[in-house]
Copies of this chain bind each other. A is one copy, B any other.
Amino acid sequence: LDENEEDMPSRHQPTSADVARKAGVSRATVSVVLNGTQGNMRVSAATRQKVLAVAAELGYSPHPVAQALRRRQSRVIGFVPRSFHKLPFVLPIPYLLSIYVAQAATALRYHVVEVDDASRSGDELVRFLRSRRVGGVIFDAPDTPEAVRRVIAGQPSWLGEGLVPIVQLMRPQFAAETPTITVDARRGIDAAIDHLVDLGHRRIAFIGESGAHPVDRARRDYFLAALVRHGLECPPDYFQLGRAYSLEVGYSCTQVLLGLPERPTALFTASDTYALGALRALYEADVRVPDRMSVVSYDDAFAGHLYPPLTSVTQPLKEVATSAVSLLIDSIESVERAKTIAQVVLPTHLTVRGSTAAVRLS
């Protein structure tokens, strides 16, 4: 009621000094107890108990900002999302990744600062990252190797010494020579084709992207290779390529396929987005899925929420994010730089839903 007492810890969050005073020890001891320095037998069991008890009683928790200043590391990592923020829910993968990255970082008591659209390119990016003192950077599918290299070059480092670690996700620029976390399409695509063939399909068409990036190549190549394994082949008419992962490409390629003298009975699309476009074209043409056409997509980003729910090749996005974060934080915290550049590859698998069925004999 009366505010002017002398040593009132008062309304402030308690500090280590408060704990020390009340426990009758020094602040140094409090720090040692709470941080359990490796040979933690430094402090006697008795004082240890005492300090812990007082800390709990006071609801003490160390001030993260002061810790960061003293330890000279801020437990902050930067996340640079792909330049994709335009197509909100047609492809939620970028959002999912950013959420999973944040979750994984939080679990390790790190913060994520996400670079916003404006400052994603050029020196602006380096300035931003530097001013925030990030301890490492995760790039999701950077547009160019330069974007990544600039961050590397913006160093000798803005923190202590050495370089700030960098990890690239999903669709890396290998020329930048950083560790990468990617996904291997093969297993999922193999399973998809096995599944279709098991259902009796022989005329299987493909809608994909024509790009030269390994990620795009993989989807095409593994599709073709899987057909070959079954002694099948893909006539050129059945192999439709577009120049972007857009709904429109999926739509128009499907129309082409439906106009063919001998229609395919199954369709594999290299992304959920294509599948969405395909579904529209099929709907308009009154070709029922899966009765008249089986559809398998790649991504499994929203495939399960369409009608019918799509059989799809599932990418382990959460694992990608988690490995990226732990790889990054490991190299932030390890004293010496690793000599080899880690290249983590995570497998895909097939998730069977309602868009595939046995081929109709009629």
Contacts and interface: CB of A to CB of B under 8 A. Distances in A.
Interface of A: 11-13, 59, 61, 63-66, 68-69, 74, 88-90, 92, 95-96, 98-99, 102-103, 106-107, 111, 113-114, 116, 127, 130-133, 156-161, 276, 279-280, 283, 301-302, 305, 307
Given A13-B130, A89-B89, A130-B13, A102 B74 contact: no
B116 A61 contact: no
Nearest to A280: B307
A135 to B, nearest CB: 12
A279 B107 CA distance: 39
Contacts of A99: 95, 98
Contact of A283 (B12, B89, B95, B307): B307
A80 to B, nearest CB: 13
A69 B69 CA distance: 8
B111 A107 contact: no
B11 A133 contact: no
Nearest to A76: B111
A47 to B, nearest CB: 23
B127 A89 contact: no
Contact of A106 (B68, B98, B113): B113
B13 A133 contact: yes
Contact of A305 (B90, B98, B131, B159): B90
Given A13-B159, A92-B89, A307-B279, A133 B64 contact: yes
